[in-house]
Chain A
Amino acid sequence: MALRELKVCLLGDTGVGKSSIVWRFVEDSFDPNINPTIGASFMTKTVQYQNELHKFLIWDTAGQERFRALAPMYYRGSTAAIIAYDITKEETFSTLKNWVKELRQHGPPNIVVAIAGNKCDLNDVREVLEKDAKDYADSINAVFVETSAKNAININELFLEISKRIPSANTSATSGKGFKLRRHSSETEQRCC
């Protein structure tokens, strides 16, 4: 079975549940008292998709201001970016829009964007309407799901949707190579800066 490596990074405001989404996906666990991520955390998980194995190389970035400048290092060369927001906090949705803008300007041209409206178990205190978020996602051609890392809702589906959006296997051999080269060149670019 062919193995493909997919580099995915998580972006979004602090406290929206990026790490919880990753933990649920990778370890199938949830810690209500999770501490804020410091820097970035790297994890992998391999899942089967059709007749391929997809190995997700996941960069879970810190949402705090202090680490803001490091984000390009992680989304550069990513196949996909998951931008998460908290459905109970309007302002995290505005932050999400800024991330989309930044990715459009500085991210890799064909990056798959997935929007995750996390904490959908807290429907009572919702501030962002599902329809508004969905419309916005459609307008930028992004994957959209509402998730709950706590109750394990739509977490695997989120990554499955990303798998679906990745160009199919017959082009992957060449695109995989191209991807690697691109990452290389961007690395040298960075050193010059």
Chain B
Amino acid sequence: MASDVHENVERHPGLTPLSSTLCADPDNQRSESPAPALTQGNEPGAAQDEAMFVHAQSYEDLTGEVEVPLPQSPGPEGNVEISSMEQISEDFSKLSTQLSVSSVQSIEQNPEEDTEMGHEDAASSSSSPEGDGGSRVLDDWYQHQKHVFVLSEAGKPVYSRYRSEEALSSTAGVMMALVSFLESEKNAIRSIHAEAYKVVFVRRSPLVLVSVSHTQQSEQEISQQLLYVYYQIVSLVTGAQLHHLFQQRPSYDLRQLLSGSERITDKLLDSMDVDPSFLLGAVCCHPMIANLRDATTYCLQQAKAKSLVFSILMSNNHLVTLVRKKDQYLHPIDLHLLFNLVTSSSSFREGEAWTPVCLPKFNPSGFFHAHISYLSHKPELCLLMVSTDREDFFTASDCKRKIVERLEKKGTWTSLKEALRNPFYDVTQIGIPELRHFLYKSKSSGLLTSPAMVAPYDTDREKRRLVELYQYLHGRAHCSARPLTTIYHMGAHENILAWVTEAFELYVCFSPLGTKSSAVNGVSRLLRWIRKEEDRLFILSSPTY
């Protein structure tokens, strides 16, 4: 078991083989295989003229907002010095072996995930008398891997991922005491590390968000997830209303206003644990032949109205196409929130829905109105139209009718349905034998591509484990104290590689039987393949109405 960690190309001559193999003709503007020297905008998947999304370096942008970027806290992130290699190695082996064990435990102890097993286990392991059911429920509550709490600054609970008011009332008090105690000294609490537990705080006035977890995720990533939860709440009530309510009455109980929306936040948290697009702050595209995508986009472009700002087609959380008003850009976070809203409720599945939604990155002070309707269930295709006028439902509805008519008339509909059948491509078609899975993000376009997770990552537990490996790699690569550009680790179950450049981020999973040189070779072939297929894997244009 070994890890190679390179934080800087110049300082590590050992990396030269990697970069030299990957170096291609630098004169070619859209060269086949981009080298680290290539600037943003030339990488595979970069938009041809103008990006579709607000330009975001995603992760840094996000975390950069967390009040004062304090230098270095003496947490585990701090001890990267000489021992970094050993430590990373150790973390990886934990992730590839112990983690799967701990997730088995958590499934056994969590009756929500596996009812039968959970009950049996709880009954056999708990020696307490049968009447003591209440405390057992509470015990289960403490077993969850990652708790998320949202409180008001007055200490009133706003949201708890696994509910339980009972446990929450005392916990909320302790959490607020910690926050305010440190604040009285003009400090801010960011995290507490205790054995395997991390307690992470994010302060976003008027709310305080807290996560208590025992996962391998870095503090930075957890605070990013908490920030997503904050944005989720803003998207339900608007930032303006949130501030207004608490300004008028600091003891306001926000739960009443949020009642019925818990499922949306629950879904967001669940997705963030398994969907790498949140991790990378990028949008996953549905792969599709460019001609077909263009024809579909054209149908959306033609159905325009004064009040429409964005028309979006999505399928299984993948972006099919997006048409925007000229000079208006969506932020990937806002799109994630829209996707999450749609997928979190079955109530959109019939008829046409019309709902206020705030896009916090676009404008936190007001509501847009979203027209949401499914054009097809099998394969799934959902149309979202974002309008500025709350009275304009029938205009949007008319646009929907036009889009459907046009799709059918031009014969696009049949081929579109065919193309939507499978949101993922097969990794074997790339023709790299040791390659099992990868994530590739083009930084300038904010788009992500990734193949299907096939065996051995075809069970929920293995999928989860792979995502956790990616999370760990990502956390290491973006660690603010010591960012790393390349990481290669040979593990018992897989060899994994991370490569972060100015222009792109690549995380690759290889078979454990491969060698380092075959991995280096594989990465360069993979990048060539992505370049060759880029107009199918990505949306290279950024159409407007």
Q: Measuring CB to CB, which residues of chain A are less than 8 angstroms from any residue of chain B?
A: 14, 19, 23, 26-27, 31, 33-43, 60, 62-67, 70, 73, 187, 190-191
Q: Is the CB of A35 within 8 A of B351?
A: no
Q: Is the CB of B354 within 8 A of A62?
A: no
| Interface residues as binary, B236-271 with A (CB distance below 8 Å gives 1, 0 otherwise) | 110000000000000000001111110100000000
Q: Is the CB of A35 within 8 A of B391?
A: no
Q: Is the CB of A41 within 8 A of B353?
A: yes
Please tell me if B348 contacts chain A, counting CB pairs below 8 Å.
yes
Known: A73-B390, A187-B391, A191-B391. A34 touches B353 (CB 8 A): no
Q: Which residue of B lies closest to A60 (CB)?
A: B351
Instruction: State which of A36, A43, A67 has its C-beta within 8 Å of the C-beta of B350.
Output: A43
Residues in B whose Cβ lies below 8 Å from that of A62 = 260, 355
Residues in A whose Cβ lies below 8 Å from that of B263 = 35-36
Known: A42-B354, A60-B351. A14 touches B391 (CB 8 A): no
Q: Is the CB of B346 within 8 A of A34?
A: yes
Residues in A whose Cβ lies below 8 Å from that of B355 = 38-40, 62, 67
Instruction: State which of B347, B354, B393 has its C-beta within 8 Å of the C-beta of A36.
Output: B347
Residues in B whose Cβ lies below 8 Å from that of A31 = 346
Q: Is the CB of A37 within 8 A of B347?
A: yes
Known: A66-B237, A73-B391, A191-B391. A35 touches B345 (CB 8 A): yes
Residues in A whose Cβ lies below 8 Å from that of B348 = 38, 41
Instruction: State which of A23, A64, A70 has its C-beta within 8 Å of the C-beta of B261.
Output: A64
Q: Which 5 A-B pairs have the closest CB atoms?
A: A39-B355, A43-B351, A64-B260, A35-B345, A36-B260
Please tell me if B352 contacts chain A, counting CB pairs below 8 Å.
yes
Instruction: State which of B257, B258, B347 has its C-beta within 8 Å of the C-beta of A35.
Output: B347
Q: Which residue of B lies closest to A61 (CB)?
A: B354
Residues in B whose Cβ lies below 8 Å from that of A36 = 260, 263, 345, 347
Q: Is the CB of A65 within 8 A of B350?
A: no
Please tell me if B281 contacts chain A, counting CB pairs below 8 Å.
no
Q: Measuring CB to CB, which residues of chain B are less than 8 angstroms from any residue of chain A?
A: 236-237, 256-261, 263, 341, 344-348, 350-356, 370, 390-391, 393, 397
Q: Is the CB of A66 within 8 A of B257?
A: yes
Residues in A whose Cβ lies below 8 Å from that of B352 = 41-43
- How far, in whole Å, are A176 and B258 apart by their CA atoms in the complex? 39
Q: Which residue of A lies closest to B357 (CB)?
A: A39
Q: Is the CB of B350 within 8 A of A38?
A: no
- How far, in whole Å, are A63 and B341 apart by their CA atoms in the complex? 17
Q: Which residue of B lies closest to A31 (CB)?
A: B346
Residues in B whose Cβ lies below 8 Å from that of A35 = 263, 344-347
Q: Is the CB of A42 within 8 A of B391?
A: no
Residues in B whose Cβ lies below 8 Å from that of A60 = 351
Residues in B whose Cβ lies below 8 Å from that of A33 = 346
- How far, in whole Å, are A173 and B440 apart by their CA atoms in the complex? 62
Q: Is the CB of B353 within 8 A of A38?
A: yes
Instruction: State which of A38, A43, A63, A191 has its C-beta within 8 Å of the C-beta of B345.
Output: A38
Residues in A whose Cβ lies below 8 Å from that of B258 = 66
Known: A35-B345, A37-B347, A38-B345. A66 touches B261 (CB 8 A): yes
Residues in B whose Cβ lies below 8 Å from that of A66 = 236-237, 257-261
- How far, in whole Å, are A2 and B536 apart by their CA atoms in the complex? 50
Known: A19-B347, A43-B351, A66-B236. A38 touches B341 (CB 8 A): yes
- How far, in whole Å, are A36 and B348 apart by their CA atoms in the complex? 10
Q: Is the CB of B354 within 8 A of A40?
A: yes
Q: Is the CB of A42 within 8 A of B393?
A: yes
User: Measured between C-beta atoms, what is the minimum distance from A135 to chain B in Å?
Assistant: 31
Q: Which residue of A lies closest to B397 (CB)?
A: A42
Residues in B whose Cβ lies below 8 Å from that of A65 = 256-257, 259
Known: A34-B346, A38-B341, A43-B350. A70 touches B356 (CB 8 A): yes
Q: Which residue of B lies closest to A36 (CB)?
A: B260
User: Measured between C-beta atoms, what is the minimum distance from A95 to chain B in Å?
Assistant: 14
Q: Which residue of A lies closest to B348 (CB)?
A: A38
Residues in B whose Cβ lies below 8 Å from that of A34 = 346-347
Selected A-B contacts with CB under 8 Å, 27 pairs? A26-B351, A27-B350, A34-B346, A34-B347, A35-B263, A36-B345, A37-B347, A39-B356, A39-B370, A40-B354, A40-B355, A41-B348, A41-B350, A41-B352, A42-B351, A62-B355, A64-B259, A65-B257, A66-B236, A66-B260, A66-B261, A67-B356, A70-B356, A70-B390, A73-B391, A190-B391, A191-B391
User: Measured between C-beta atoms, what is the minimum distance from B270 to chain A in Å?
Assistant: 15
User: Measured between C-beta atoms, what is the minimum distance from B360 to chain A in Å?
Assistant: 16
Q: Which residue of B lies closest to A188 (CB)?
A: B391
- How far, in whole Å, are A31 and B345 apart by their CA atoms in the complex? 13
- How far, in whole Å, are A116 and B390 apart by their CA atoms in the complex? 28
Residues in A whose Cβ lies below 8 Å from that of B257 = 65-66
Q: Is the CB of A39 within 8 A of B353?
A: yes
Residues in B whose Cβ lies below 8 Å from that of A43 = 350-352
Q: Which residue of A lies closest to B241 (CB)?
A: A66
User: Measured between C-beta atoms, what is the minimum distance from B290 to chain A in Å?
Assistant: 34
Q: Which residue of B lies closest to A186 (CB)?
A: B391
- How far, in whole Å, are A10 and B260 apart by their CA atoms in the complex? 18
Interface centre among A14, A27, A66 (most CB of B within 10 A): A66
- How far, in whole Å, are A26 and B349 apart by their CA atoms in the complex? 14
- How far, in whole Å, are A187 and B356 apart by their CA atoms in the complex? 18
Q: Is the CB of A23 within 8 A of B350?
A: yes
Q: Which residue of A lies closest to B262 (CB)?
A: A36
User: Measured between C-beta atoms, what is the minimum distance from A10 to chain B in Å?
Assistant: 12
Residues in A whose Cβ lies below 8 Å from that of B350 = 23, 26-27, 41, 43
Q: Which residue of A lies closest to B352 (CB)?
A: A42
Q: Is the CB of B347 within 8 A of A41?
A: yes
- How far, in whole Å, are A36 and B351 apart by their CA atoms in the complex? 14
- How far, in whole Å, are A36 and B355 apart by their CA atoms in the complex? 13
- How far, in whole Å, are A68 and B352 apart by their CA atoms in the complex? 19
Residues in A whose Cβ lies below 8 Å from that of B391 = 73, 187, 190-191
User: Measured between C-beta atoms, what is the minimum distance from B110 to chain A in Å?
Assistant: 21
Q: Which residue of B lies closest to A23 (CB)?
A: B350
Residues in B whose Cβ lies below 8 Å from that of A191 = 391
Residues in A whose Cβ lies below 8 Å from that of B260 = 14, 36, 62-64, 66
- How far, in whole Å, are A39 and B353 apart by their CA atoms in the complex? 7
